[in-house]
Amino acid sequence: MTDIKSMTSAELTDALRGMGEPAFRGKQIFTWLHRGATSFEEMSNLSKPLRARLSEEYEITVPRAARRQVSQLDGTIKYLWELADGNCIETVLMSYHHGNTVCISSQVGCRMGCRFCASTVAGRVRDLRASEMIDQVLFTKLDSDREISNIVLMGIGEPMDNLDTVLRFLTLVNDPDGLNIGMRHISLSTCGVVPGIDRLAELGLQLTLSVSLHAPDSETRSRIMPVNNAYDVDELFEACHRYFRKTGRRISFEYAMIDGVNDSDAQADLLAKKIRGMPGHVNLIPLNNVVESEFKPSRRVAAFQSRLASHGITATVRRSLGGDIDASCGQLRRKAMAEAQARVASEGRKRT
Ligand code: SAH
């Protein structure tokens, strides 16, 4: 069965033409799918025989909200979506005064191995399909009854490790007949996969590139991010400068503040030096405690910020949302996995 929601409007048009249908049919179906139709039966402007034929050849992905946690502090909603094959992924919906932002996952798990991150603890299970990325935006919107104005690809997974599919997702989510979210309202975050950054630069998309830097020197960065052994800090900065020269777009550097690891004044000085020459913006993130990690949140966030400011680098401190609902990357999925394991273990005990 073909995954119909991963098809672009143009591909659907071709496929429907191939079935002897008029050209507008593809667009009609695209519109139904991206409004959240869960079966071909609902598509009332298609003939019954066509609906029947489509349901023989195509499947429509529909995730199940396995959990939904609403923050009592700020209204952030965290979803744990169960996919058709039983795998689970997380999506977070955050409300800001300028609109609602949905943070979506690009893979089930992650193989990048960042030492402070919960998403990567059990490795990568599989890549998401484009439809499964669309579904996170679509069903979060429908379930929450809130309009979505911005998307950040900052959930579970490394977008550059599934880039072809991420690019397909961007085409789909951009479509005026679909969710119609413009590139300027989309951010893509990478742990620093240089060939991916170069590929994006070539495409010249209007999206915002975020680079999860977390350390300005290779020694520290290799300690906390294995990707640094493949593409070290200097190669990464060269790619960022190339990206800026090619696209003229400002890069956002993510920097999770870890106690005694990456929060010294010397590191702030080095960071400022490496950004010089492009209009980079630094986003300081108070480290979220991850049960599996040895790292602790820094107590020098403000000092680090003013040290950067003294070099003319603007840094903002990310407002922490959903602090009461395990809202940071991978935590809810980890928790659900641990609970499932505990259930299996206790059932095993009961049986013996
Ligand atoms: N793989 C991509 C996108 C997912 S992670 C990337 O690395 O950019 C989204 C952001 O959350 C990244 O900047 C990541 O480094 C950061 N992050 C992961 N674990 C964190 C934690 N425990 N505390 C604070 N930020 C964390």
pLDDT digits (tens, 9 = 90+) for 106-126: 999 999 999 999 999 999 999
Tell me the Ramachandran region of residue 247: left when phi exceeds 0, alpha when psi lies from -120 to 50, beta otherwise.
alpha
Token couple for 187: 């951010």
* φ, ψ dihedrals at 209, nearest 5°: -95, 125
Cβ atoms of residues 301 and 272 within 8 Å: no
Cα 325–chain centre separation? 18
Q: Is pLDDT above 80 for 181?
A: yes
Separation of 341 CA from ligand 1 center, angstroms?
25
| Any atom of ligand 1 within 6 Å of the Cβ of 186 | no
Cβ atoms of residues 71 and 324 within 8 Å: yes
Contacts with 87 (C-beta within 8 Å, 6 or more apart), sequence order: 108, 125, 126
pLDDT tens per residue across span 250-273: 999 999 999 999 999 999 999 999
More confident residue, 292 or 24: 24
| Any atom of ligand 1 within 6 Å of the Cβ of 256 | yes
| Any atom of ligand 1 within 6 Å of the Cβ of 106 | no
Give me the pLDDT at residue 349, please: 59
Give me the pLDDT at residue 6, please: 98
Separation of 280 CA from ligand 1 center, angstroms?
18
Q: Is pLDDT above 90 for 133?
A: yes
**Average pLDDT over every residue of 162-185:** 98
Q: Which residue's alpha carbon is at the smallest distance from atom 7 of ligand 1?
A: 191
Give me the pLDDT at residue 330, please: 67
Token couple for 309: 């400011």
Give me the pLDDT at residue 324, please: 73
CATH 1.10.150.530 for domain 64-340, yes or no, is: no
Which residue in 290, 314, 315, 311 sits closest to 301, CA to CA? 315
Letter string b/e over residues 14-32, b meaning 16 or more CB atoms within 10 A of that residue's CB: ebbeeeebeeebbbbbbbb
CATH architecture label of 2-59? Orthogonal Bundle (1.10)
Average pLDDT of the chain to the nearest whole number:
93
* Residue ranges of the chain that CATH labels 1.10.150.530: 2-59
Separation of 104 CA from ligand 1 center, angstroms?
12
The question of whether 114 is a catalytic residue gets the answer: no
Cβ atoms of residues 176 and 156 within 8 Å: no
* φ, ψ dihedrals at 155, nearest 5°: -85, -145
Report the distance separating Cα 12 and Cα 176, nearest Å.
15
Report the distance separating Cα 121 and Cα 125, nearest Å.
11
Catalytic residue among 21, 90, 132, 254: 90
Catalytic residue among 103, 117, 240, 329: 329
pLDDT tens per residue across span 52-109: 999 999 999 999 999 999 999 888 999 999 999 999 999 999 998 889 999 999 999 9
Q: At how many degrees (to 10) do helices 194-203 and 233-247 cross?
A: 0
| Any atom of ligand 1 within 6 Å of the Cβ of 209 | no
Task: Indicate the pLDDT class of residue 352, thresholds 50, 70 and 90.
Answer: very low
Cβ atoms of residues 137 and 169 within 8 Å: no
